Amino acid sequence: MTRRILTVALAAAMSLVASAQKPGQPSWLSDAVVYQIYPSSFQDSDGNGIGDLPGIASRLEYIKSVGVTAIWMNPIFVSGWTDGGYDVIDFYKVDPRFGTNTDLVNLVEKAHSLGIKVILDLVAGHSSDQSEWFKQSQEAANLRYSDYYIWPSFKPEMPASDGPQDYYALMNSSAGIISKFVKSDAPRGPYYIKNFFDTQPALNFGFANPDPEHPWEQAVDAPGPMAMRRELKNIMQFWMDKGVDGFRVDMAASLVKNDFDKSATIKLWKEDLAKWFHENYPENLLIAEWFNPSQSIAADFNIDFFCHDGTYNYSTLFFYNRRGRGAGNGPVYPYFDLEGKGELKTWYDLYTFQYEAVKGKGYVSMPSGNHDFNRLCDGARTSTDQLKVAMTFFLTMPGVPFMYYGDEIGLKHIAGVPAVEGGGGRCGTRIPMLWDSSENAGFSTAATEKLYLPQDPDPSRRTVESELADPNSLLNYVKRLLELRKEFKALGADADWKLVSSLEQPYPMIYQRGEGESRCLVVINPSAKQVSAAIPTEGVQPKVIGGTGKKQSYKAGKTEDKIIAAGCSATIYKF
């Protein structure tokens, strides 16, 4: 009898473990809500039209009031500014446009006093071509940084195309590496290998299977790549020891070259870089920009993204053109659109693969946006109601939620703004924050034409001030969602997720969070039409605990439950 009770108790505990957080992950991570800040566009404190660290520090109380517990800032290091800060000249120094290292320490201290963690962007795969390392590496001499970069002595024949050349493919094919050869007139050699733009020479972490015919392809454990690893750890240690709480690692999958199945890059992180990091900083966080959690979590990152790029993406949910592998050319009807012509299966298959692959080991995070793709508030999706529906989705899915600055007030994507600092079409998503009704919406006291990028010119644009004043605003809605997420663990990072509606009838999308006693059900209908659905009976009538407040009904039946959802609505039920 006692043994039976024990067995039952053990089984219950095991089922809890199955959906619980990864053992040994930072203790604060399960409840974290991350807010991404593009530092040039958030808050200017010195009137030069560009955001800075003291500016960010001055807005931390606001950030906390939204319900955020961690900020991630895009790169803040001395940069050549040919790629929005991702071309780092000095990895140990804050760029003067943002302030000083002391300003960063002050920001961290203030953030910590408010219970907010600070995550930096670690550009692990490349530097600026203006960095001292690269300058020295260009010399025809055997110096300290000589092997920090890769210097091919000739350009091999381009092999026949081995697949469509999107961002992911470029990082993952031999054609990809050759297309990254940049002609050079440096004494060191006729080519170097870049990671992204020509101004971003790739750092040398070695090649998966060095080709003896290609003497520049060093093994991952050759002296050059080993020195590179030590430098990367040193950079991490430098900032960790200043109180920073972790890194989002840019292009984390790109380190080992010609590593098509990523096994060498996974090994490099798992057995060395991430291992060292977690051993030394167990309460700190490593987020991958890898776009493939099944690999990055195996590499011992805590979180990876599922968003716009790579094979695994949510492009069918939000974009008017499909991105990533197999994108095709034609227009796409995004699922989150009033027309209600979208489908869920593409996203569902990709998402569930990743979700199942890393459950209990790490998190798949679907950010509301980021600095590389169009904002949520874009195209035909700009009304507060539509944005509330989308935010309900983002903030009730498993994994750690990431909100891109401004998404909480429905900051609009502004197409056609000037392309600055390598941002190209991405600049429309990097425009300055809108705080209030004062000059430049409180972002800066500079002359309007001096702003980093133009702001949304719409006179009825939403600002933090106007949103706070309106009880039905998106901002107040987002705050309530984050409170609910905190109150009901079933809506949190670790609780189970299961789609209960049919993929054949995609509107509404209905998913269950949690298990047993503490289950929640989320009903999402982005289409303008009222829709209904029947799901296998839950056996109990649930209670509405949140949502857009539009007409809805839930009728529990003997064999099935009937749900009605008004056009453009979201409802959260608790059983």
Interface residues with ligand NOJ (CB under 6 A) are 83-84, 86, 123, 196, 250-251, 289, 371-372
Q: Which pair of structure tokens corresponds to residue 371?
A: 């600095």
Question: How many C-beta atoms surround the C-beta of residue 223 within 10 A?
Answer: 10
Pick the closest to residue 350 from 301, 311, 400 (CA basis). Answer: 311
Q: Which is nearer to ligand NOJ, 453 or 490 (by Cβ)? A: 453
Q: Which is nearer to ligand NOJ, 203 or 484 (by Cβ)? A: 203
Minimum distance from residue 124 beta carbon to ligand NOJ (Å): 10
CB 210 within 8 A of CB 219: yes
Rounded CA gap, 118 and 76, in Å? 12
Q: Which is nearer to ligand NOJ, 86 or 363 (by Cβ)? A: 86
Minimum distance from residue 123 beta carbon to ligand NOJ (Å): 6
Rounded CA gap, 26 and 440, in Å? 39
Minimum distance from residue 38 beta carbon to ligand NOJ (Å): 10
Q: How many CA atoms lie within 13 A of 368 on its CB side?
A: 32
Q: Which pair of structure tokens corresponds to residue 160?
A: 């026949």
Minimum distance from residue 444 beta carbon to ligand NOJ (Å): 23
Residue type, 98: F
Minimum distance from residue 251 beta carbon to ligand NOJ (Å): 5
Q: Which pair of structure tokens corresponds to residue 364?
A: 């798949």
Q: Which is nearer to ligand NOJ, 180 or 388 (by Cβ)? A: 180
Provide the pairing of β-strand 34-37 with 402-404: parallel
The residue nearest ligand NOJ at its CB is: 86
Q: Which is nearer to ligand NOJ, 253 or 568 (by Cβ)? A: 253
Rounded CA gap, 477 and 484, in Å? 11
Beta bridge partners of 570: 524
Q: Which is nearer to ligand NOJ, 125 or 546 (by Cβ)? A: 125
CA distances from 210 to 36, 193, 218, 340 (A): 38, 15, 6, 51
Q: Which pair of structure tokens corresponds to residue 263?
A: 């096994």
- DSSP letter for each residue of 233-260: HHHHHHHHTTT--EEEEETGGGSSBT-T
3-class SS of residue 453: coil
Minimum distance from residue 196 beta carbon to ligand NOJ (Å): 4
Rg, C-alpha atoms of the chain: 24
Q: Which is nearer to ligand NOJ, 342 or 422 (by Cβ)? A: 422
Q: Which is nearer to ligand NOJ, 405 or 435 (by Cβ)? A: 405
Minimum distance from residue 130 beta carbon to ligand NOJ (Å): 15
Q: Which is nearer to ligand NOJ, 68 or 252 (by Cβ)? A: 252
CB 552 within 8 A of CB 545: no
Rounded CA gap, 473 and 388, in Å? 9
Close Cβ partners of 87 (under 8 Å, ≥ 6 residues apart): 79, 80, 81, 126, 127, 128, 129, 130, 197, 199, 200, 422
Q: Which is nearer to ligand NOJ, 245 or 289 (by Cβ)? A: 289
Minimum distance from residue 250 beta carbon to ligand NOJ (Å): 5
Minimum distance from residue 68 beta carbon to ligand NOJ (Å): 20
Minimum distance from residue 404 beta carbon to ligand NOJ (Å): 12
